[in-house]
Structure 1
Amino acid sequence: MHPLRRLLLLALLLIGLVPAAQADVANAPGANLEVSLITYGPGAIYWERFGHDAIELRDTVSGESVNFNYGVFDFDESGFLLNFARGRMHYLMDAAHSEDDESYYVQTGRSITRQRLAFTPEQAAALRDYLLWNLRPENVRYDYDYYTRNCTTRVRDALDQALGGVLKTALQTRAGGMTFRQQTARLMDQQAWLMLILDLGLGPYADRPLDAWQESFLPMVLQREIATVKTSDGRPLVTDEQVLSPNRLVPPAETAPDLRMPLAIAGLILAALLIVLQRFVPIGHALLASLFLLLAGTVGTLLLILWFATAHQSAWANANLLLFNPLAWLLLATVWRARRGVPASRLANIVLIVQLAACLVAIGLHLLPGTVQQNQPWLLFGLPCWVALAWTLRRVSIR
């Protein structure tokens, strides 16, 4: 929704100039308000893969309702792209008539599920007042984080606040099912290249064990977990669950894909090609080695930028820097000289030794007790590549 439309709806809600349903939602007593969690399933586009949700406030007298959600961003915001790159994004809260809000999801084949919640009149009124306060221009923006402050955690927190902390208390006592990394890979598995890029860029933060409260950063997890919660007087929080529109898209996988075997095979194939090409097609070896070194150096540079120049906490202290780093660029000239039979320089030999030592450190770190980052797939890919590259370049030197 455009910001002007959002402000207009807020004004109309507050002064009661929209049709009766909207005025009632803003002014009705809590006993007339019905609170529901609306969950939208994952979409086909990559930014829709995590799903979405909203809080529905329905006036039981008129039957009409308003959906409040926290998933709007403003391309017109000053410095939007720079803030996005730096991990300092700002998202907006939004409100729309329920039918208007849900029509897009019906058209695109995404599921819509409504869970009616057992709010007391006082809790429903408090939630309504908070949402309208949050919709004001001075309160509508919030600092966004993919895992800890997103459109679902804001919905979760608003519900929990109105419920007096019942939701958080219940979910924090339960272990989550997956880590941030596993959930990301599971939901992105239909965009394989993007899934691999994200997995490569996630650091140890993404592998911490989660409780059910933390894992409820996902709409589908919040939908599942909230159904198990009881109110302070022992009643089920979810009184009714209804599928308003069925899913018509390919559903995401139930578990995260295991990337170890595919990347291990890819690493062994690349290593074998480096060895064979160096022996029989030297220019092919130079081209393939250059491609690997360019990518390794670029990946390492981006990982360093993510760590030291952005607020993307989930990418900090990434152990993949030991496998892919800007040192790789120092070997580019060496692989082309090797094509003509020129042995590696002293600098190149030092770089190779340092890089192989870094690979050993990466393996050692991974084997240490208490290791957090789960980067086995990239260890299995990177190690044979570096060993093969070092062997082929040293082989030129001892001829």
Structure 2
Amino acid sequence: MPPLAKLLSLLAFLLLAVAPARASVVNAPGANLEVSLVTYGPGDVYWERFGHDALELRDTVSGEAVNFNYGVFDFNEKNFFLNFARGRMHYLMDAEPTVDEESYYIQVGRSITRQRLAFTPEQAAALRDFLFWNLRPENAGYNYDYYVDNCTTRVRDALDKALGGVIKAGLAAQAGGMSYRQQTDRLMSAQPWLMLLLDLGLGPYADQPMNAWSESFLPYELQAKLRGIRVPDGRGGTQSLVQNEELLSPNRLPAPPAQAPDLRLPLGASGLAFAVLLVATTRRARLAHALLATLYLIVAGLVGLLLLTLWTLTSHHSAWANANLLLFSPLAFLLLRAVWRARRDIAPSRFANTVLILQLAAALVAVLLHLLPGTVQQNQPWLLFALPAWLALAWSLRQTTHS
């Protein structure tokens, strides 16, 4: 979404708010307002993989329709990438004519689904007033969080507030289907390396049990879960919140899988294959062995530094207290010299042996933590990958003590 165009359209709608003479969404009676949730399918770019949504307000008399969404960011913002790395992402709310916004999604092949919602005139007017208040420059910005404060949770919360809390009351009592980690892996599976990096960086927060309310941080989940919400019908009974659902444009992009991929077999097999290579080259191809071990130690050390930084120096709470730090540690850097000394049949120093024992103990702690009752973090794939590699590396280093 071009940020400058979004900001210009935001200003245009603010101008509408001070032009009461024009019949429009801004000043239409609540009885003339139609409220809809518009859901857009996932895109090709990594930040589009979770999908997107917007709230549409339509004046049934004038025909004007406006889409409000919370997904605007600007790569050109000062220190954007530094703030992103620190977990301080600044997003904006925006509004633009429905036709203009939908034309973009049709052009790029992302599906568009509109759900017309059962709002009373008073609720529709209250939602409209809140959205235009939120659209003001002093209110439009917010600190984005992928899981708990994003473009969908803001839409969900606005709907829930206007409906008096009925959505949260209905969804909080229902169990969720997946964890944050599973949903992330599922939606990012089209980009395997990025999926693996994200999975490696997610800590126990990403594996906590979710209810349907928290799982509705995703556009498609919110769309599906609203179908089961019922609201008063004004006659002493109830009616479905979703009065009508219409597919406005089909999806022309590959759809994400229904379930998250199981990473245990591929990562476990990769770790075992790497361990076999380390063992096989210990005596027969010492240069190749040293290069393989160096590659592993450098990657393990860099990953450890990254995980430690995410935990201690950023606001990415989903990466805090990551048990993978026990498997991939900066201690790995301290073993690089021992690997190249072993190539010349020089046994590891006492210092290197101590570091190796500490690293193996850390890996053992990671296994024990995973086996303890009540353990939250689901990092079995990385345990299966790292343990064979560390054991093979330790075995190969210890061989030089017998030469």
Mark yes or no: TM-score above 0.5. yes
- Kept in 1, the 8 Å contact 2:92–2:141? The answer is yes
Deviation readout 1:291-350 (Å, 9 max, x if unpaired): 000000000000000000000000000000110010000001111111111111111111
- Kept in 2, the 8 Å contact 1:166–1:232? The answer is no
How far is the alpha carbon of 1:74 from its aligned partner? 2.3
Question: Distance between the aligned counterparts of 1:76 and 1:192, measured in 2?
Answer: 28
Q: Secondary structure at the match of 2:58?
A: strand
The answer to whether the aligner puts 1:314 opposite 2:324 as a matched pair is no
How far is the alpha carbon of 1:253 from its aligned partner? 0.5
How far is the alpha carbon of 1:143 from its aligned partner? 1.0
User: 1:155 maps to what in 2?
Assistant: 155
Matched residues, number: 396
Gaps of 5+ in 2: none
Alignment of 1:293-312 (within 5 A): 293-312=297-316
Q: Secondary structure at the match of 2:95?
A: strand
Q: Secondary structure at the match of 1:26?
A: coil
- Kept in 1, the 8 Å contact 2:69–2:93? The answer is yes
- Kept in 1, the 8 Å contact 2:205–2:377? The answer is yes
Question: Distance between the aligned counterparts of 1:377 and 1:366, measured in 2?
Answer: 12
User: 2:171 maps to what in 1?
Assistant: 171
Letter in 2 for 1:188: M
User: 1:136 maps to what in 2?
Assistant: 136
User: 2:36 maps to what in 1?
Assistant: 36
How far is the alpha carbon of 1:17 from its aligned partner? 8.5
The answer to whether the aligner puts 1:5 opposite 2:8 as a matched pair is yes
Question: Distance between the aligned counterparts of 1:223 and 1:303, measured in 2?
Answer: 34
User: 2:205 maps to what in 1?
Assistant: 205
| Amino-acid identity (%) | 67
Question: Distance between the aligned counterparts of 1:95 and 1:265, measured in 2?
Answer: 49
User: 1:14 maps to what in 2?
Assistant: 17
The answer to whether the aligner puts 1:385 opposite 2:392 as a matched pair is no
Question: Distance between the aligned counterparts of 1:191 and 1:331, measured in 2?
Answer: 32
How far is the alpha carbon of 1:104 from its aligned partner? 1.2
How far is the alpha carbon of 1:359 from its aligned partner? 1.0
How far is the alpha carbon of 1:375 from its aligned partner? 0.1
Q: Secondary structure at the match of 2:129?
A: helix
Q: Secondary structure at the match of 2:398?
A: helix
Question: Distance between the aligned counterparts of 1:222 and 1:386, measured in 2?
Answer: 43
Q: TM-score, normalised by structure 2?
A: 0.96
- Kept in 2, the 8 Å contact 1:203–1:318? The answer is yes
How far is the alpha carbon of 1:64 from its aligned partner? 2.5
Alignment of 1:182-331 (within 5 A): 182-233=182-233, 234-331=238-335
- Kept in 2, the 8 Å contact 1:38–1:115? The answer is yes
How far is the alpha carbon of 1:15 from its aligned partner? 2.6
The answer to whether the aligner puts 1:356 opposite 2:360 as a matched pair is yes
- Kept in 1, the 8 Å contact 2:10–2:94? The answer is no
The answer to whether the aligner puts 1:96 opposite 2:100 as a matched pair is no
How far is the alpha carbon of 1:255 from its aligned partner? 0.4
Letter in 1 for 2:12: L
Q: TM-score, normalised by structure 1?
A: 0.97
- Kept in 1, the 8 Å contact 2:20–2:27? The answer is no
Deviation readout 1:76-100 (Å, 9 max, x if unpaired): 3332222111001110000010011
How far is the alpha carbon of 1:12 from its aligned partner? 2.7
- Kept in 2, the 8 Å contact 1:10–1:136? The answer is no
The answer to whether the aligner puts 1:398 opposite 2:402 as a matched pair is yes
How far is the alpha carbon of 1:4 from its aligned partner? 4.3
Question: Distance between the aligned counterparts of 1:76 and 1:199, measured in 2?
Answer: 28
Q: In structure 2, do the counterparts of structure 1 residues 43 and 4 end up closer, same or farther at CA, with 3 Å as the change threshold?
A: closer
Question: Distance between the aligned counterparts of 1:158 and 1:151, measured in 2?
Answer: 11
Gaps of 5+ in 1: none
Question: Distance between the aligned counterparts of 1:231 and 1:83, measured in 2?
Answer: 41
Deviation readout 1:46-104 (Å, 9 max, x if unpaired): 11100000000011112220000000012333322221110011100000100111111
Letter in 2 for 1:378: W
